[in-house]
């Protein structure tokens, strides 16, 4: 302890992780009674039907790197430690059940080996795969486990992507060969607008979302009682580059029915619920309902901490309400995450509480907003209906009441709270410097922070000391105190993303940004982008200060697509227009999509490609160079907890 401050945190040189403080121990102990009252049926259901698990503890990619360690989270099998919220610990214990599970005859799931599940449905001649985990090596290992255990040599004849998030399609190349898809041997079914949303979400804001995802998923944290417990929604993302194969069949409306390899499937659209492109579906002959990620065993995100468009909570609740009427005969319900629910009455009760969870978030946020409460006030609300609070399937292990109420507010009203004093705030560093000066300097602020830490007021410490860190990021004592406060908040968090955000913040305050990066795109993603999206992405990457005053008129002719595009640079923005023929272009470039990718992905210059015969250039190529030489790369590890 610092001898000058008997109640202070360890001195500035002590940047090591700390144990739980008495305040945190007390807070977590207070949760144990509520946890003990949660339904113990969950433990039976999470392990029901287990057939096998991977014999090799490590799943590796072709280059030898570890994609998955089956023992990484074995520490969860002990009692909840003081450094973890017992409710979150319980949730992650349940998710740690890993292996191949039988749902009912003909339906099996791979669970516990990624953030999501992979489901296998047996057809007359082959297998239908529902979702494919995040990466090909993990999906390949899961499929092999299933085929070996079930003694099956049947091929995969269809893949169903339930929705447009990468953990549900990224492993597709591990279960099917793209050549078989093109040959018509394998169908890939997806909801309307799947490709548009699967690609766009990971491109235009991809860099910043990837950086924030490091915090949300705890990518930098060790799996341990003082580190990552998982994600709330599952364990963690398997570690490889995700892939993508485009769908061959699109479902566009509720009520559509397909028969795939003798298996009847009835679809319900759920667009704009948990994902912008999503559906649920029912196997009437098996009385089995796939809920995708619309209904899960927790409170999901209306607003996700990695950053994304806020979701429509009202629409979400109405889809679940519709599901109850469309498929009342379901005897088992399973999803893209977690474990199934068996029995008509239990399914209906589960769906009713899930429906009410999203309806409550929606109605409560707007009720309070219409009383004049602003977004930050909503973030401190605590009221939850008693029956929902007592249902683990409605607790905030992934989403949270705090950020979801604010997400609904933002969905309707945006970031501005209506108070002119907040209309044009100072930027963070300038604001921090002025606050610190007004409070009497850095040492004075830290004295208040140390006192608050000793009293267990960690939220206040985090807000207060953040000003010192941003005013002077070289103040090691401030960074240490801020890290210690964030760490205790993480230990207390019931939401896994909150825990991960707090603990990654503490880690980076102590050690700086780490090297791990969660990829927002892959070669498959780039190849799947439309030309319009590619050109929009180039426009975002332009350094607008360097292109100010420049003009360019570029005609691009794609011989492989039979498309003509006009790229027009003016006022520092690059407009793209399909089909526009420029009257007097500065340059006309005739090329193929692979040639464009060579420039974007491999750094090839236009002159190199022209010399190689991959492009034809008519006019002044410097006009095109004026655009491409001002395209910049985004820094993948920009600062978050420091300026």
Q: Which two tokens stand for residue 100?
A: 């191949």
Q: So what's the pLDDT on residue 602?
A: 81
In contact, 570 and 547? CB cutoff 8 Å:
no
Average pLDDT over residues 99-106: 98
Mean pLDDT on 189-202: 90
pLDDT value for 14: 83
281 and 146 in a common domain: yes
Distance between CA atoms of 56 and 71, rounded to whole angstroms?
A: 10
Instruction: Write out the two tokens for 402.
Output: 């705090």
Q: What confidence category does residue 333 fall into, taking pLDDT thresholds of 50, 70 and 90?
A: very high
C-beta separation of 488 from 20 below 8 A: yes
Does the pLDDT value for residue 6 go beyond 80? no
**Assign residue 230 a region: left if phi > 0, alpha if psi is -120 to 50, beta otherwise?**
left
For position 633, what pLDDT does the model report? Answer: 87
Tally of domains within the chain:
2
Is 514 part of a structural domain of the chain?
Answer: no
Residue that is last in its domain, among 382, 412, 442: 412
Rounded distance, CA 92 to CA 619, Å? Answer: 62
Clarify whether residues 109 and 238 are in a common domain: yes
pLDDT at 12 over 90: no
Tell me the pLDDT band of 520, cut-offs 50, 70 and 90: low
- Which residue, of 379, 412, 445, is where some domain finishes? 412
pTM, full prediction: 0.94
Beta-bridge partners for 257? 266
Q: Whole-angstrom Cα distance, residue 211 to residue 478?
A: 24
Q: How many residues does the chain have?
A: 643
pLDDT class for 452, splitting at 50, 70, 90? very high
| Residue 123 phi, psi (nearest 5) | -105, -170
Q: What percent of the chain has pLDDT over 70?
A: 97
Lowest mean pLDDT among 104-108, 295-299, 381-385, 523-527: 523-527
Q: What is the mean pLDDT of the chain?
A: 94
Instruction: Kindly indicate the confidence band of residue 517, based on its pLDDT and cuts at 50, 70 and 90.
Output: low
pLDDT value at position 604? 87
Residue 445 lies in a domain: no
- Whether 98 is in a domain gets the answer yes
Q: What is the pLDDT of residue 571?
A: 95
Contact indicator for 140, 174 with CB cutoff of 8 Å: yes
Q: Report the CATH number at residue 392.
A: 3.60.15.30
Tell me, yes or no, whether 447 lies in a domain: no
Exposure string over 456-487, b if 16+ CB within 10 A, otherwise e: bbbebbbebbbbbbbbbbebbbbbbbbbbbbb
Do both 535 and 392 map to the same domain?
no
Q: Provide the CATH number for the domain around residue 603.
A: 3.30.1050.10
Is-contact 187 260, C-beta < 8 A?
yes
Q: Is residue 491 part of a domain?
A: no
pLDDT recorded at residue 9: 39
- Do 77 and 96 form a contact (C-beta atoms < 8 A)? yes
In DSSP terms, 102 is beta-bridged to 108
In the sheet that 50-52 helps form, which strands lie side by side, from edge to edge? 50-52, 99-104, 107-111, 118-122, 127-130, 156-160, 187-191, 249-251
CA pair distance 358, 299, nearest whole angstrom = 8
pLDDT digits (tens, 9 = 90+) for 532-586: 999 998 999 999 999 999 999 999 999 999 999 999 999 999 999 999 999 999 9
Mapped onto helix, strand or coil, the DSSP state of residue 577 is strand
Domain boundary among 393, 412, 431: 412
Which structural domain, as residue segments, surrounds residue 567? 530-628
- Retrieve residue 550's tokens: 């420049």
Question: CB neighbours (10 Å) of residue 307?
Answer: 14
How far apart are alpha carbons 175 and 187 in whole angstroms? 12
Q: Tell me the two tokens of residue 96.
A: 């740690």
At residue 406, what are phi and psi to the nearest 5 degrees? -65, -35
User: For residue 196, is it within any domain?
Assistant: yes
Under the banding of pLDDT at 50, 70 and 90, the label for residue 433 is very high
pLDDT for position 205 = 85
Burial class of 224 by CB neighbour count within 10 A (0 to 12, 13 to 18, 19+): middle
- 554 beta partners: 567, 587
- Report the Cα–Cα distance between both ends of the chain, in Å, rounded: 28
Q: What is the pLDDT of residue 516?
A: 66
For residues 403 and 539, membership in a common domain is answered with no
111/242 same-domain check? yes
User: In terms of domains, do 538 and 398 share one?
Assistant: no
Query: Is 236 part of a structural domain of the chain?
Result: yes
pLDDT over 60 (residue 11)? no
Rg (CA), the chain: 26
Q: Is residue 598 part of a domain?
A: yes
- Indicate whether 190 and 333 sit together in one domain: yes
Looking at the predicted structure, is the pLDDT value of residue 7 above 50? no
pLDDT at 13 over 50: no
* pLDDT given at position 626: 84
Cβ proximity of 59 and 141 under 8 Å? yes
The arithmetic mean of pLDDT across residues 306-310, rounded, is 89
Task: Read off the pLDDT of residues 54-76 as tens digits, 9 standing for 90 and up.
Answer: 999 999 999 999 999 999 999 99
pLDDT band at 1 (very low <50, low <70, confident <90, very high): very low
Q: Is 335 a residue whose pLDDT tops 90?
A: yes
């Amino acid at each position: 302890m610092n001898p000058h401050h008997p109640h202070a945190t360890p001195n500035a040189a002590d940047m090591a992780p700390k144990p739980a403080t008495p305040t945190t121990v007390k807070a977590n102990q207070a949760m144990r009674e509520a946890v003990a009252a949660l339904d113990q049926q969950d433990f039976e259901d999470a392990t029901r039907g287990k057939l096998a698990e991977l014999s090799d503890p490590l799943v590796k990619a072709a280059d030898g790197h570890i994609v998955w360690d089956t023992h990484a989270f074995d520490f969860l099998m002990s009692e909840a430690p003081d450094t973890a919220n017992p409710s979150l610990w319980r949730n992650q214990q349940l998710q740690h059940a890993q292996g191949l599970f039988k749902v009912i005859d003909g339906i099996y799931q791979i669970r516990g080996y990624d953030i999501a599940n992979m489901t296998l449905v047996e057809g007359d001649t082959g297998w239908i795969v529902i979702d494919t985990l995040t990466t090909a090596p993990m999906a390949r290992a899961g499929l092999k486990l299933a085929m070996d255990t079930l003694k099956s040599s049947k091929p995969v004849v269809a893949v169903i992507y339930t929705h447009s998030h990468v953990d549900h399609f990224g492993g597709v190349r591990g279960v099917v060969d793209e050549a078989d898809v093109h040959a018509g041997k394998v169908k890939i079914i997806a909801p309307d607008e799947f490709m548009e949303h699967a690609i766009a979400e990971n491109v235009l804001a991809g860099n910043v979302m990837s950086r924030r995802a490091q915090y949300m998923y705890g990518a930098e944290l060790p799996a341990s009682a003082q580190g990552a417990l998982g994600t709330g929604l599952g364990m963690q993302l398997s570690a490889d580059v995700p892939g993508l194969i485009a769908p061959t069949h699109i479902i566009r409306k509720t009520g559509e029915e397909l028969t795939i390899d003798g298996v009847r499937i009835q679809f319900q659209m759920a667009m704009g619920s948990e994902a912008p492109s999503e559906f649920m579906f029912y196997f009437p002959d098996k009385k089995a309902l796939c809920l995708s990620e619309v209904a899960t065993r927790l409170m999901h995100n209306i607003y996700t901490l990695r950053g994304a468009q806020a979701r429509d909570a009202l629409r979400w609740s109405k889809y679940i309400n519709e599901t109850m009427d469309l498929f009342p005969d379901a005897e088992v319900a399973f999803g893209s995450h977690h474990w199934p629910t068996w029995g008509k009455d239990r399914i209906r009760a589960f769906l009713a509480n899930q429906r009410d969870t999203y309806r409550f978030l929606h109605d409560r946020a707007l009720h309070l907003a219409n009383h004049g409460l602003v977004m930050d006030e909503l973030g401190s609300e605590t009221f939850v209906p008693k029956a929902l609070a007592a249902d683990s399937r409605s607790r905030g292990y992934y989403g949270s009441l705090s950020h979801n109420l604010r997400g609904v507010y933002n969905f309707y009203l945006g970031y501005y709270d209506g108070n002119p004093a907040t209309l044009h705030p100072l930027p963070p560093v300038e604001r921090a410097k002025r606050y610190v000066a007004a409070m009497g300097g850095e040492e004075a602020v830290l004295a208040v922070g140390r006192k608050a830490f000793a009293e267990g007021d960690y939220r206040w410490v985090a807000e207060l000391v953040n000003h010192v860190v941003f005013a002077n990021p070289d103040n090691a004592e401030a960074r240490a105190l801020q890290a210690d406060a964030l760490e205790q908040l993480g230990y207390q968090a019931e939401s896994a993303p909150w825990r991960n955000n707090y603990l990654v913040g503490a880690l980076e305050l102590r050690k700086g940004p780490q090297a791990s990066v969660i990829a927002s795109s892959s070669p498959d993603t780039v190849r799947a982008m439309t030309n319009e999206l590619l050109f929009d992405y180039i426009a975002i990457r332009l350094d607008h200060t360097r292109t100010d005053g420049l003009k360019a008129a570029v005609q691009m002719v794609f011989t492989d697509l039979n498309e003509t595009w006009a790229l027009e640079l003016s006022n520092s923005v690059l407009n793209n227009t399909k089909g526009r023929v420029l009257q007097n272009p500065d340059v006309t470039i005739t090329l193929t999509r692979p040639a464009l990718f060579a420039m974007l992905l491999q750094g090839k210059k236009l002159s190199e490609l022209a010399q190689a015969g991959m492009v034809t250039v008519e006019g002044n190529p410097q006009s095109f160079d004026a655009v491409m030489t001002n395209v910049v790369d985004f820094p993948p590890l920009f600062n978050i907890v420091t300026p």
